[in-house]
Amino acid sequence: MPVFNDLSLEKKYLINEFDGDNVLLVEPIMKTELCILILIHEDVETIIWKKLNDEIFDIIEELSEEKSEEYEILFEEDDDFENFED
């Protein structure tokens, strides 16, 4: 079974942390000797520490650079729209 240590820094992944769980978009942003800091992209972004050997039910895919940029553009447009309203 995959573990959080299998994820590379500065990449984005679609995962199911647990069987039957919702798909999460996660981005590892820092590693220590025993843990990894994960940014979870949801309605509200969350940052959480996981142990490197914590299991992941399924790593569905690593987003390509192109898909990561496409994702970022989606939210830049939302930010631009909100700033326009102010």
Instruction: Give the pLDDT score at 75.
Output: 76
C-alpha–C-alpha distance, residues 5 and 14, integer Å? 15
pLDDT at residue 77, rounded to an integer: 60
Cα separation, 28 vs 31, whole angstroms: 8
pTM: 0.84
pLDDT digits (tens, 9 = 90+) for 28-65: 999 999 999 999 999 889 999 999 999 999 999 999 99
State the pLDDT at residue 80: 52
Domain range annotation of the chain = 4-85
- The Cα 67–Cα 27 span in angstroms is 13
Q: Is the pLDDT score of 85 beyond 60?
A: no
